[in-house]
């Protein structure tokens, strides 16, 4: 029986280092690896992805499919159910080695009807609905910001036509912050335009704030497990990937070192664990989120 390993990253700036670590720790014997091209979107249905389709073609009844975390393979509720149906049809086992689903047997079916067990469906739908709600909240927040005139993405660079005027104003004593306001660009864009005019030691310049130092907080394991099933920004994903797991009896906490702003972003992303909007709250998860909230709030000025 073969061990088939599936790996995927969402952007070509990401690596499979964390997946490699999790799968190596699992001690999989003679793995046959199927790795999607970098940047294969999670929005593309798993059954339409080239390498996962290749895996299914290669597989034989009795083989086991291994993934590091569920979100590497699926994005939402329907994706999960579709994949489980195909694995059942082809008589393949599924092993998830980390994250919210790692302790569950998602292939468990009723012995008479062959249908997925209701407990499996409930857990799949709960986690998937929580992830969908988070994406909806993020989308609604972006739309609200746009309605107020805010625009996403980086602010524009200094146009070539105005660069000379910016440099002249800087030499005449206009501050970087004031020039940024005047031209509707970031301070970094102004610094780039006048880079050769800046003094050698700019770290003490008043308009260049000191970088925010990382803060180490213990994140409850249930919060970490949930966050690993959601879409995160690269800096947020890196903070989780670099966290150190500390066992607490049968549970664990993830010791995460990141800027306080990143902790606040992670806290906002696990808001669905409090329930609401038609998504049932699991008491243990809600308690875990509030523990993390208290730790973040204690450091907030």
| pLDDT attached to residue 174 | 87
- Give 244-270 pLDDT, tens digit per residue: 888 877 788 899 988 888 998 999 888
Helix, strand or coil for residue 93? strand
| pLDDT attached to residue 133 | 40
CA distance 169 to 171: 5
- Give 63-84 pLDDT, tens digit per residue: 999 998 887 887 767 788 888 8
| pLDDT attached to residue 35 | 93
Position 148 confidence tier, pLDDT thresholds 50, 70, 90: low
pLDDT over threshold 70, residue 153: no
| pLDDT attached to residue 1 | 85
Instruction: Give CATH superfamily name and number for 3-116.
Output: Resolvase, N-terminal catalytic domain (3.40.50.1390)
Residue position matching structure tokens 């912050």:
177
| pLDDT attached to residue 82 | 86
Nearest to 231 by CA among 36, 10, 6: 10
CA 162 to chain centre: 39
Contact indicator for 83, 73 with CB cutoff of 8 Å:
yes
Domain ranges of the chain: 3-116, 154-210, 214-298
Phi–psi pair at 253, nearest 5 degrees = -120, 155
- Give 204-238 pLDDT, tens digit per residue: 444 555 566 788 889 999 999 989 888 888 888 88
- Give 154-189 pLDDT, tens digit per residue: 556 788 778 888 888 888 888 888 898 888 888 888
């Amino acid at each position: 029986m073969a061990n088939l390993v599936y790996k995927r990253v969402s952007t070509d700036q990401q690596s499979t280092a964390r997946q490699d670590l999790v799968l190596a720790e699992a001690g999989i014997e003679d793995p046959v690896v199927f790795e999607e091209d970098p940047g294969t979107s999670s929005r593309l249905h798993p059954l339409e992805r080239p390498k996962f389709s290749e895996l299914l073609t290669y597989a034989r009844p009795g083989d086991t499919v291994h993934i590091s975390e569920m979100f590497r393979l699926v994005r939402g509720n329907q994706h999960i159910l579709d994949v489980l149906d195909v694995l059942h049809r082809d008589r393949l086992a599924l092993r998830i080695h980390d994250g919210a689903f790692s302790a569950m047997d998602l292939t468990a079916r009723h012995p008479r009807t062959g249908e997925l067990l209701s407990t499996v469906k409930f857990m799949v739908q709960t986690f998937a609905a929580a992830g969908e709600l988070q994406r909806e909240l993020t989308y609604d927040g972006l739309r609200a910001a746009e309605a107020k005139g805010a625009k996403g993405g980086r602010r524009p660079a200094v146009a070539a036509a105005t660069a000379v005027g910016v440099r002249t104003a800087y030499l005449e004593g206009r501050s970087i912050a004031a020039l940024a306001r005047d031209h509707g660009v970031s301070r970094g864009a102004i610094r780039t335009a006048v880079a050769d005019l800046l003094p050698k030691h700019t770290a003490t310049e008043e308009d260049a704030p000191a970088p925010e130092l990382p803060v180490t907080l213990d994140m409850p394991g249930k919060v970490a497990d949930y966050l690993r099933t959601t879409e995160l920004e690269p800096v947020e994903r890196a903070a989780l990937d670099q966290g150190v797991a500390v066992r607490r009896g049968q549970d664990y906490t993830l010791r995460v070192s990141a800027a306080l702003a990143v902790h606040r972003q992670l806290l906002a992303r696990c808001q669905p664990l409090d329930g609401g909007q038609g998504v049932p709250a699991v008491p243990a998860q809600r308690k875990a989120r509030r523990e993390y909230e208290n730790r973040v709030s204690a450091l907030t000025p």
